[in-house]
Amino acid sequence: MNIRNNIKKVALVSLLTAATALTPTLSVTAFAAGKTLVYNNGTEPRSLDPAKVNGMWELNIMASVFMGLMAETPSAETIPGVATSYDVSDDGLTYTFHLRDSKWSDGVPVTANDFEFGIKRLMDPNTASPNSWLLYLIENGSDVVSGKKAPSELGVTAIDDKTLQFKLNIPAPYFTSMLVHMSTFAAPKHVVEKHGDDWTKLENMVFNGAYTIEKWIPNDHIMLKKNPHFWDADNVKIENVKMLVIKDSATAFKAFRAGELDISSFPTDQISKVKTDYPDAFHSYATLATSYYSFNLRLDKFKDVNVRQALSMAIDRKVYTEKVRKSGIPAYGFVPTGIANYPSPALVSWKDKSMDERRATAKKLLADAGYTADKPLELEIKYRSGDLGKRYTVAIAAMWKAIGVKVTMLNKDSNVVYEDYKKGDFEVASGGWSGDYNDAENFLTLLSKGAGRNNYSAYSNPDYEAAMLAASKETDLVKRAVHLRKAEALIARDQPVAALNYGQFLRVVNPKLKGYVDNPMTQHRFRHMYFAD
């Protein structure tokens, strides 16, 4: 819909919607029963401050204990959250949100001032938020983050306690879907101003979401408790959620089979067995996610596009997907399939060549760049610790050794390795991106200068920036997609990153747990779930 000719008024939609039921035939009787849900979150959060974290494992926590202006249905459709409705100006640059009566967990009302305070705090360069780049579309956003303008000049204003207004630099059709992300959450102004950075100590924290954090035992678990002050508390059925930190998928699956977990990952090499043995617990669906390798363009060895193309084309994505990961879809473009308003992705030119042809071409490209059997290309792959990370990396290393590349591997904890990537402390970085919102821009922005430290490769191309800028100014969705596709075509040509695999989300879920609905955004909020009798 062309928003230039429309003023939207979105009515309140209930957060509680019906979910697809699963028939409980799993032959395990020890599942957690009653009002407590046990979930494996996989990784320890770096912080409890929504402005200072950006991992999916951290969003799982943040979206449970905080709620933004907008929220999600069980199937990840965007609906009003703390807001009841919003208006959009004819030019698509002004959004005005109207807030409901809601409270922090200490009983203090949540106001538009808390949202203004939270967003300006996130964009303040002193906060050093990893998510600030997502909000550059707000008026003066990039200038505030860079220190050229004060946070007070950011285009977000509390008109009164119940009315919040955003001024945008560009007409962004995806803006409301961004408002479910933790980067846009309110911050309790009365608590942050009183305690400063200590506001995230549990004895000081307050929450406006469905749950509060009752306990945090580092590297073991976080215990959530239903928030009686949550505006929709009557529809929250799960009283407690225990979020465990189990990094190894085999260990997690063992705990699930023992009835110690209600939602868990499992080793992908067991997918057939899990599907056969636990059909009523098995969940598998495509997601808006891309796994990829970033090449550090700061280093001389990766400044030659021939080297990057050689490494990318030597990866057998079909084998990697079907034999190694055993899930997902081979990726020959950066934007995942299924993205809204983006019908034709731009793929690498050598997609349909045989692997023999690709390996031969890769060897020639390396030779042209000066790398031969006597002087091989040497590189290090840095990856996240864990059983799957090691297996994936070993497979890619073997594919590169087949074209004469000498590969070493280094693993680090997830929180540490991503900091290394952002500092440029790597040669080849193994990572991935799950969409914050359903739009190609969310993926392509990662390779722009505006992404800051999230542009791990330090890719810089004026033509790319021009295409992204043109897309940002276009309100016609078809024309906008043309500009975005032009940008993706430049990634396919320049290969600052080698896309490997589009996501497939695999989980086992207690069949007695209802309200868990498969969706491409992998958003599964505990407030929608309940146990069947």
Average pLDDT over residues 241-258: 95
Q: Is the pLDDT of residue 14 over 70?
A: no
**Residue 387: predicted pLDDT:** 65
442-458: per-residue pLDDT in tens?
999 999 987 878 899 99
Q: Is the pLDDT of residue 213 over 70?
A: yes
Q: Is the pLDDT of residue 416 over 60?
A: yes
Average pLDDT over residues 421-437: 93
Q: Is 299 exposed, middle or buried (0-12, 13-18, 19+ CB in 10 A)?
A: middle
Q: CA 213 to CA 526: how far, in whole Å?
A: 13
DSSP classification of residue 324? I
Q: Which residues have CB under 8 Å from 415's CB, separation 6+?
A: 43, 44, 46, 55
Average pLDDT over residues 255-274: 93
**Residue 407: predicted pLDDT:** 97
Q: Is the pLDDT of residue 32 over 80?
A: no
Percentage with pLDDT > 90 across the chain: 83
Q: Is the pLDDT of residue 388 over 90?
A: no
Q: Is the pLDDT of residue 5 over 80?
A: no
| Radius of gyration, CA atoms only, the chain | 23
Nearest alpha-carbon partner for 63 in 18, 11, 15: 15
81-85, 197-201, 214-218, 344-348: least confident range? 344-348
Q: Is the pLDDT of residue 3 over 90?
A: no
47-51, 134-138, 391-395, 433-437: least confident range? 433-437
pTM: 0.80
463-492: per-residue pLDDT in tens?
999 999 999 888 889 999 999 999 999 999
Q: Is 203 exposed, middle or buried (0-12, 13-18, 19+ CB in 10 A)?
A: exposed
Average pLDDT over residues 355-363: 98
Percentage with pLDDT > 70 across the chain: 93
Q: Is the pLDDT of residue 142 over 50?
A: yes
Partnered with residue 376 across adjacent β-strands are none
Average pLDDT over residues 277-296: 95
- Please, what are the domains in the chain? 3-10+33-244+510-531 (3.40.190.10), 287-504 (3.10.105.10)
29-38, 261-270, 352-361, 441-450: least confident range? 29-38
Q: CA 440 to CA 424: how far, in whole Å?
A: 25
Instruction: pLDDT band for 414, please (50, 70, 90 cuts).
Output: confident
**Residue-averaged pLDDT of the chain:** 91
Q: Is the pLDDT of residue 524 over 80?
A: yes
Instruction: pLDDT band for 266, please (50, 70, 90 cuts).
Output: very high
**Which amino acid is present at 50?**
P
